[in-house]
């Protein structure tokens, strides 16, 4: 995809100067946090404790240089195909070329639409009202479409390249270090922030089930990996309030009221180059602004939980029907980890595949049967 020639000018109107100053200042503070670098291991193969300390201190960490150009090219190829096959408009069974549209036959939620530069969740009761404040909605260019797809759920059924990222051995080692060897899936998504069009994700915290649990702690609602195809900037990336994952449920309305603006003064942007992968604690106060910049941001997003946060728990009902998650449900959903590891082994035979402890002794093959079984796999997401 040629990402250099796009000029869909849009800005924050009367707020533009304040916004630009905020972006610049946020970037400066982000680089001062000391929470970025390559994934490093100790001599005995453990994720380096300095990384884990910085992750738990800040609530996020940027792993630099995780995905090589070859892998990014695979992801871009799949992305182009996905964009090409999107429905011509919301609800259309066909794409712009008249072919059956992507996900038109899916039962599970897949495509999330917004008006360009809009904020579809902020200030609404959607997703259990967890995005309490509406973000500023800049005016898109006159020729922008009525609506755009900014988020694709169940994304691993549409992209084998994204599935292979999901089976990345070093990232899965990090998942084990943070959530325990028996970690379990959450969900997967593609966030697509087109220049001059990409929607806001209003400030929120992700968890819905454990805030009032007697054993709640800073890791109760798991984390998301956010792998960057084109990198991300202060203008188009996710912003995080460092340390907010430790403080329980935040009063986001009050935070915005105290600041007098949605530009939360303590928040910092996650800044990445292409191939960097951030890990972000789902309990942090986080969000992203409408993308008025000229740069694409495409995030391959996938999360993991501690098993004990999920087993026997009634799911939150945000991503699929609420249900009590038993061993069988977790096992069914975790099969995607086995497929991802095998799909990756076939594409990158020089890599040592990750061994996922709960599947020790089992064989998962990424073959035609497995592929067919991915349809609507996200009906089984473990949403807490």
Binding site for ligand AKG (CB under 6 A): 191, 201, 206, 224, 238, 286, 288, 299, 301
Nearer to ligand AKG, 238 or 334 (CB): 238
| Cα dihedral 22/28/32/37 (nearest 10) | 110
Phi-psi sector, 320: left (phi>0), alpha (psi -120 to 50), beta: beta
CB of 159 to ligand AKG, least distance (A): 16
CB of 301 to ligand AKG, least distance (A): 5
Nearer to ligand AKG, 157 or 224 (CB): 224
The Cα 63–Cα 60 span in angstroms is 10
Query: Rounded to the nearest 5 degrees, what angle is found at the Cα of 382, between the Cα atoms of 82 and 223?
Result: 80
Residue showing tokens 């400066």:
28
Q: 118-129 burial string, b = 16+ CB within 10 Å, else e?
A: bbbbbeeeeeee
Structural tokens at position 147: 């609506």
CB of 98 to ligand AKG, least distance (A): 31
Q: What secondary structure does DSSP assign to 308-327, as a single string?
A: HHHTTPBP-SSSS---B--H
Phi-psi sector, 315: left (phi>0), alpha (psi -120 to 50), beta: beta
CB of 121 to ligand AKG, least distance (A): 10
How far is the CA of 116 from the CAs of 8, 120, 144, 192, 199, in angstroms? 11, 10, 7, 12, 6
Structural tokens at position 241: 């309030």
Nearer to ligand AKG, 66 or 201 (CB): 201
CB of 186 to ligand AKG, least distance (A): 10
Q: For ligand AKG, which residue has the nearest CB? A: 288
Maximum C-alpha span of the chain: 61
Nearer to ligand AKG, 227 or 334 (CB): 227
Structural tokens at position 245: 């994952």
Nearer to ligand AKG, 249 or 365 (CB): 249
CB count, 10 Å around CB of 76?
Answer: 17
The Cα 291–Cα 66 span in angstroms is 25
Nearer to ligand AKG, 60 or 377 (CB): 60
Contact between residue 17 and residue 256 where contact means Cβ atoms under 8 Å apart: no
Nearer to ligand AKG, 35 or 301 (CB): 301
Nearer to ligand AKG, 201 or 340 (CB): 201
CB of 37 to ligand AKG, least distance (A): 22
CB of 135 to ligand AKG, least distance (A): 11
Considering Cα of 206, then 209, then 210, then 212, what sign does the dihedral take?
positive
Q: Edge-to-edge strand order for the sheet containing 238-240?
A: 201-204, 286-288, 238-240, 268-269
Nearer to ligand AKG, 101 or 202 (CB): 202
CB of 350 to ligand AKG, least distance (A): 31
Nearer to ligand AKG, 239 or 366 (CB): 239
CB of 203 to ligand AKG, least distance (A): 9
Q: Side-chain half-sphere of 318: how many Cα atoms within 13 Å?
A: 19
Q: Name the β-bridge partners of 153.
A: 189
CB of 206 to ligand AKG, least distance (A): 5
């Amino acid at each position: 995809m040629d990402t250099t020639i796009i000029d869909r000018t849009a800005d924050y109107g009367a707020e533009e100067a304040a916004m630009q100053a905020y972006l610049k200042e946020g970037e400066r503070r982000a680089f001062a946090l000391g929470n970025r670098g390559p994934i490093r291991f100790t001599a005995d193969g453990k994720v380096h404790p300095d990384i884990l300390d910085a992750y738990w201190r800040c609530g996020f960490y940027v792993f630099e240089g995780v995905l090589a150009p070859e892998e990014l090219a695979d992801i871009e190829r799949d992305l182009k195909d996905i964009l090409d096959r999107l429905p011509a408009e919301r609800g259309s069974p066909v794409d712009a070329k008249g072919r059956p549209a992507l996900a038109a036959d899916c039962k599970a939620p897949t495509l999330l639409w917004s008006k360009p530069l809009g904020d579809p969740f902020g200030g609404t009761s959607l997703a259990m009202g967890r995005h309490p404040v509406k973000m500023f909605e800049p005016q898109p260019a006159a020729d922008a479409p009525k609506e755009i797809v900014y988020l694709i759920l169940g994304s691993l059924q549409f992209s084998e390249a994204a599935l292979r990222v999901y089976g990345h051995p070093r990232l899965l080692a990090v998942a084990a270090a943070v959530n325990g060897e028996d970690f379990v899936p959450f969900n997967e998504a593609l966030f697509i922030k087109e220049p001059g069009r990409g929607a806001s994700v209003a400030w929120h915290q992700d968890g819905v089930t454990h805030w009032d649990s007697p054993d709640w702690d800073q890791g109760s609602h798991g984390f998301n990996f956010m792998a960057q195809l084109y990198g991300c900037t202060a203008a188009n990336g996710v912003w995080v309030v460092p340390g907010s994952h430790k403080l329980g449920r935040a009063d986001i309305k009050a935070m915005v009221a105290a600041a007098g603006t949605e530009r939360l003064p303590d928040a910092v942007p996650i800044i990445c180059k292409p191939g960097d992968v951030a890990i972000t604690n789902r309990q942090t106060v986080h969000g992203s602004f409408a993308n008025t910049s000229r740069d694409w941001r495409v995030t391959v997003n996938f999360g993991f939980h501690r098993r004990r946060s999920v087993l026997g728990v009634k799911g939150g009902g945000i991503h699929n029907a609420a249900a009590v998650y038993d061993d069988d449900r977790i096992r069914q959903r975790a099969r995607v980890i086995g497929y991802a590891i095998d799909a990756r082994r076939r594409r990158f035979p020089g890599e040592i595949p990750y061994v996922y402890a709960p599947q020790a002794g089992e064989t998962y093959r990424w073959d035609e049967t497995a592929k067919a079984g991915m349809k609507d796999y996200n009906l089984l997401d473990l949403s807490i």
